[in-house]
Amino acid sequence: MNVVPLQTVRLPDWLAGVLGLDGLLGTVVGSLIGAALVATVMLTMTAIAGPWAKRKITAAFTDRVAVSRIGPYGLFIIVADSLRLISKELIVPENADRPAYDIAPIVVVFSALIGFSVLPMGNLGGVSIQLADPEAGLALVFAFASIATIGLVMGGYASANKYSLLGGLRSVAQAIAYEIPLLVIAISLVLFTGSLQLSEFIAYQQQPFIDLGVFAIPSWFAFVNPFAFLLFLVANLAEIGRNPFDTPEAPNEIVAGYQTEYSSVYFVLFYLGEFLHIFLGAGIITVLFLGGGAGPLLPGFVWFLIKLWAIFLFTQWMRSAMPRVRIDQLIGIGWKGLLVLSFANLLLTAVVVGVFNVGV
Amino acid sequence: MSTFETPDREQEADPETLLEDLLIGTEAHRNAPGVVIPPNAVQEALTRLREDAGYDHLSTVTAQEYADRFEAIYHLRRFADPTDELSVVVPTSKEDPTIESAAPVFRTADWHEREAYDLMGISFEDHPDLRRILLPETWQGHPLRQDYDQDRPQVVPLREHRNPIAENQQTAEGEDTMFLNVGPHHPATHGVLHIETVLDGEQVVDVDPDIGYLHRCEEQICESSTYRHQIMPYPDRWDYVSAGLLNEWAYARTAEDLADIEVPAYAQTIRTMGAELSRIAAHMLALGTFALDVNGDFTAAFMYAMRERERVEQLLEELTGQRLMFNYFRLGGVAWDLPDPREEFFENVREYLNDVPEAVQEFHDLLSNNEVFQLRTVNTGVLEPEVAKDYGCTGPVLRGSGVAYDIRDKDPYGRYDDLDWEVVTEDGKDNYARVLVRIREVEQSARIIDQCLDRLEDWPEDDREIQSNVPRTVAPDGGQEIYRAVEGAKGELGIYIRTDGSDTPARFKIRGPSFSNLQVLPELAEGEYIPDLIAALGSLDLVLGEVDR
């Protein structure tokens, strides 16, 4: 099978070229600036999503009007909310276990941000927006994403609050139960691509799947294996802790779970981490199933962001509509349902790939 | 649907004969005959009355003080026929007020007697857990006693209270447990309720509701207010979530029966319509908050419920001028006639009624037909009908366990007896059934309103009497006692009044349905997971204003 090599230059190399640096210095400087740019884009999206878009979306789902007073369409609420959150007093519980208490929110945010370092986020003007493309990219991105759980458990335990503890324990139980299905589903895709490198995933999905003459349906894995796509969507909801799987923070049961005792900037960091994780989860889905930045007319990077927002919308939709399952039911669905189904999917895919010889 | 068998009244013994050897006197209350028994024969008497005479519902326990004695009244009735009532009067001495506890016979007596102990200082022998219930445990004195000094400041420091985590926390099997305070400030407590919970992992081992945070001395306030004008605003504040007219009716019914006030049919029709509007609003809030508890925040179901409730609120505002604290009923009628122009009001109500089926369907789509919702609620928080009756549960909680007990049906007041509607029951006994009952009751309420509208539209203009002729001062004859109940949004909302000939009651006792409904929570939650504790709490649909009074 011939994979079309990307005729583009990756962002760090391009930056190094623009700055006229080469060798190790060029790599380091280019990577740092590139990482800063990507992080800025993601943080900006989070800033839009948290105080504004989320409110607007849930309001639309629930027949309300949200944030409409400050600025056009209430957009300046982003500034107002940032100021409000930052200016709040930081209250640290007396028995908090420091420095674990202080590190936890930072871990949560950075684990999500690091995840973006290996995601191919489409092209922009001939530059591939991907910071690094290691051969083990797929394994790495899941590894980064699951570091967040450590932050949650840390925060839950270090807060010295029983609700936090329950939330932390729930989040670790949930993460273990749902990360394995996620990985197994992802492995079923590796059977097609023959590589863990994420750019290979993008390349594979650019091939036509069904040629309809006028246009061809690309072999996005969402089309090639819709069953795996659905499983992944569901498992991802649990991974990012959104309805019907938002048990770790379930406000009506355990107040706010692991983040009960966090205020001010730490609270902001947790929230930031949560939204970054939704976007990271969306990013992984986009790369694995939706062809990354593939799409007509608009630049690839823009398509990538559009897909991210579409999946964000999906999570908010679930949140507005779905009841929350109980923690034991959640674990049951994970181990007895999704894990079994994902292995079934793996076997089935292996058979199909072997028989029809569609893989690499 | 009902689990009742029609009691064979001929075979059942007359209470007085049944208690012949225990009886020390009889009384005649306005609602029921009274039997007077000595304080050491309570269990024996109540057991006989329950088992041989069929009095299976202990509505409430009223404690009061006379010049020469203390007295507790056990208000008994039958679930099958609440008009068949009996007051068991238990006098006790002033020096050492002690009465044998009825808690071993009726579980519901547990909390009612704790309240009597707390506020009146009557101690109950053989009571499983005689602690203060409304006031803090270190409170000095009993505030409803005549010699209680209200001016004495009370300091209630936390350090003097029992420390629930002092003792070793293990289950009977030796598993380590964790004590958890749910509330008084917690997103799911629907007000200020504190639940002392013991957890084994995520499972609930022990639940002990701690109430009283919203105790506003409503009974005492009513005792110092006049029948005619001053009491009526207070019922609005018991079940304060838009069920106001239902509460007002409880007082209106009691006081009107006491003072023999006739209410014109026209006013009764308006009352019936208003009360059912209130019920829809209250049930909508119950559905919405239950969705909050099970679905999580930011869910559509809650906002849709609030939207529906808002439409009812607007109708009620047109009718009464208020949105929550209506103060619309008067002794002998209502405050004013339907708003002008009448046609517009009728049109607005009709428009709303037309949309009710669609709204109900929406809730079925969002909640009851949702598989995840069913996964969460079916077979959780199971309440057996016998247990529910034992705890004195009423309203949708009892009807969700398949018992067709509805005061509107069995002890009709207003216009309910000549309207066409059904008592809604579900046999599921679980959280799901209780939610279904509320959804279906909204439909029945809409039916009732519709029929009231038909009558009001055709009502001859010269016969629209909104209030009968009630004297400026209402002072019923002294020495009368009455217990009357109506079907509030949460169940049997009853009021006991004793008169002393003045224009204020000598004793004013409120039976809040949520009080008894909350008491059953441990039965629903113990052994379940935390989320089911929360769901069970939500399915009981508590209003703490009515629990604490």
CB atoms within 10 A of CB B374: 14
Cβ contacts of A325 on chain B, cutoff 8 Å: 372, 375-376
Cβ contacts of B187 on chain A, cutoff 8 Å: 251-252, 255
* Residue A238 to chain B, least CA–CA distance (Å): 15
Tokens of A316: 């908010």
**What b/e readout covers B441-461, taking b as 16+ CB neighbours within 10 angstroms?**
bbbbbbbbbbbbbebbeebee
Cβ contacts of A162 on chain B, cutoff 8 Å: 178, 180
Across the interface, whether the CB atoms of A243 and B178 are under 8 A apart is answered no
Cβ contacts of A246 on chain B, cutoff 8 Å: 296
- What confidence score (pLDDT) does residue B349 get? 92
- What confidence score (pLDDT) does residue A4 get? 45
Task: Give domain status of residue A283, yes or no.
Answer: yes
- What confidence score (pLDDT) does residue B169 get? 67
Nearest Cα residue to A322 out of B299, B432, B307, B533: B299
Contact indicator for B104, B126 with CB cutoff of 8 Å? yes
Across the interface, whether the CB atoms of B187 and A251 are under 8 A apart is answered yes
User: Is B171's pLDDT higher than 70?
Assistant: no
- What confidence score (pLDDT) does residue A2 get? 40
Tokens of A233: 């969507």
Phi, psi of B504 (to 5 degrees): -125, 150
Task: Give domain status of residue A215, yes or no.
Answer: yes
Which of A61, A63, A251 minimises the CB distance to B296? A251
**Range name among A236-245, B284-293, B304-313, B380-389 with the lowest pLDDT average:** A236-245
The share of chain B scoring above pLDDT 70, in percent, equals 96
* B70-77 vs B57-65, strand pairing mode: antiparallel
CB atoms within 10 A of CB B257: 17
* pTM higher than 0.90: no
A127 bridge partner residues:
A9, A124
**Mean residue pLDDT across chain B:** 86
Query: Each residue of A35-56: pLDDT tens digit?
Result: 898 889 888 888 888 888 888 8
Burial class (CB in 10 A: 0-12, 13-18, 19+), A103: middle
Cβ contacts of B530 on chain A, cutoff 8 Å: 166, 253-254, 327
Residue whose pair of structure tokens reads 């005619």 in the numeric block = B228
User: Is B371's pLDDT higher than 60?
Assistant: yes
DSSP B170: B
- Pairwise CA distance, residues A171 & A146, whole Å: 11
Phi, psi of B265 (to 5 degrees): -60, -35
Across the interface, whether the CB atoms of B187 and A252 are under 8 A apart is answered yes
Across the interface, whether the CB atoms of A319 and B307 are under 8 A apart is answered no
Domains and CATH numbers, chain B: 15-125 (3.30.460.80), 228-477 (1.10.645.10)
Tokens of B9: 């009244």
B453 three-class SS:
helix
Across the interface, whether the CB atoms of A64 and B292 are under 8 A apart is answered no
Q: Compute the residue count for chain B.
A: 549
Contact indicator for B224, B507 with CB cutoff of 8 Å? no
Tokens of B370: 């949702």
- What confidence score (pLDDT) does residue B129 get? 87
- Pairwise CA distance, residues B231 & B331, whole Å: 10
- What confidence score (pLDDT) does residue A301 get? 85
Task: Give domain status of residue A69, yes or no.
Answer: no
Across the interface, whether the CB atoms of B296 and A326 are under 8 A apart is answered no
Cβ contacts of B294 on chain A, cutoff 8 Å: 323-324
User: Is B386's pLDDT higher than 80?
Assistant: yes
Q: B371 to chain A: nearest residue by CA?
A: A323
Best interface-test mutation with B: which of A63, A234, A252, A331 has the largest number of B CBs within 10 A? A252
Best interface-test mutation with A: which of B364, B530, B532 has the largest number of A CBs within 10 A? B530
* Residue A261 to chain B, least CA–CA distance (Å): 14
Total count of domains within chain A? 1
One DSSP character per residue, B466-486 reads -B----SS--PPTT-EEEEEE
- What confidence score (pLDDT) does residue B229 get? 87
Residues belonging to chain B with any Cβ–Cβ distance to chain A shorter than 8 Å:
178, 180, 186-188, 202, 291-300, 302-304, 307, 366-367, 370, 372-373, 375-376, 529-532, 534
Residues spanned by the domain of A322 = 93-356
CB atoms within 10 A of CB A74: 19
Cβ contacts of B366 on chain A, cutoff 8 Å: 321
ipTM above 0.85, yes or no: no
Across the interface, whether the CB atoms of A323 and B376 are under 8 A apart is answered yes
Element (H, E) at A312: helix A300-321
Q: B531 to chain A: nearest residue by CA?
A: A253
Best interface-test mutation with A: which of B180, B185, B204, B295 has the largest number of A CBs within 10 A? B295
**Range name among B84-88, B292-296, B478-482 with the lowest pLDDT average:** B292-296
- What confidence score (pLDDT) does residue A358 get? 64
Contact indicator for A84, A151 with CB cutoff of 8 Å? no
Across the interface, whether the CB atoms of A324 and B296 are under 8 A apart is answered yes
DSSP A49: I
Tokens of A262: 């966090």
Cβ contacts of A323 on chain B, cutoff 8 Å: 291, 294-296, 299, 367, 370, 372-373, 376
Element (H, E) at B195: strand B194-200
- Pairwise CA distance, residues B275 & B252, whole Å: 12
Best interface-test mutation with B: which of A162, A253, A259, A322 has the largest number of B CBs within 10 A? A253
Residues belonging to chain A with any Cβ–Cβ distance to chain B shorter than 8 Å:
58, 61-64, 162-163, 166, 243-244, 246-247, 250-255, 319-329
- Pairwise CA distance, residues B449 & B421, whole Å: 10
Task: Give domain status of residue A103, yes or no.
Answer: yes
Query: Each residue of A257-298: pLDDT tens digit?
Result: 788 888 888 888 888 888 898 999 999 999 988 888 777 778
* Residue A59 to chain B, least CA–CA distance (Å): 8
Backbone angle region of B392, left / alpha / beta, with phi > 0 → left and psi within -120 to 50 → alpha: left
CB atoms within 10 A of CB A303: 22
Helix A23-48, helix A300-321: angle, nearest 10? 40
User: Is B487's pLDDT higher than 70?
Assistant: yes
Which of A63, A162, A253 minimises the CB distance to B531? A253
User: Is B172's pLDDT higher than 50?
Assistant: yes
Measured CA to CA in angstroms, residue A189 lies from A202, A229, A230, A290 at distances of: 12, 10, 14, 12
> B12 or B322, which is more confident?
B322
Element (H, E) at B300: helix B300-320
Which of B300, B370, B529 minimises the CB distance to A326? B529
Query: Each residue of B102-122: pLDDT tens digit?
Result: 888 888 999 999 999 998 889
Cβ contacts of A328 on chain B, cutoff 8 Å: 202, 529
Which of B180, B188, B294 minimises the CB distance to A324? B294
Query: Each residue of A98-148: pLDDT tens digit?
Result: 888 889 999 988 888 898 888 888 888 778 888 888 888 888 988 888 888
- What confidence score (pLDDT) does residue B298 get? 67
What mean pLDDT do residues B474-478 have? 84
User: Is A242's pLDDT higher than 80?
Assistant: no
Query: Each residue of A156-181: pLDDT tens digit?
Result: 888 888 888 888 888 888 888 888 88
- What confidence score (pLDDT) does residue B156 get? 80
- Residue B241 exposure: Cα atoms within 13 Å on the Cβ side: 25
- Pairwise CA distance, residues B216 & B238, whole Å: 10
- What confidence score (pLDDT) does residue B252 get? 92
Q: How many A/B residue pairs have CB atoms within 8 Å? A: 87
Query: Each residue of A184-227: pLDDT tens digit?
Result: 998 888 888 888 888 888 888 887 777 777 777 777 888 888 88
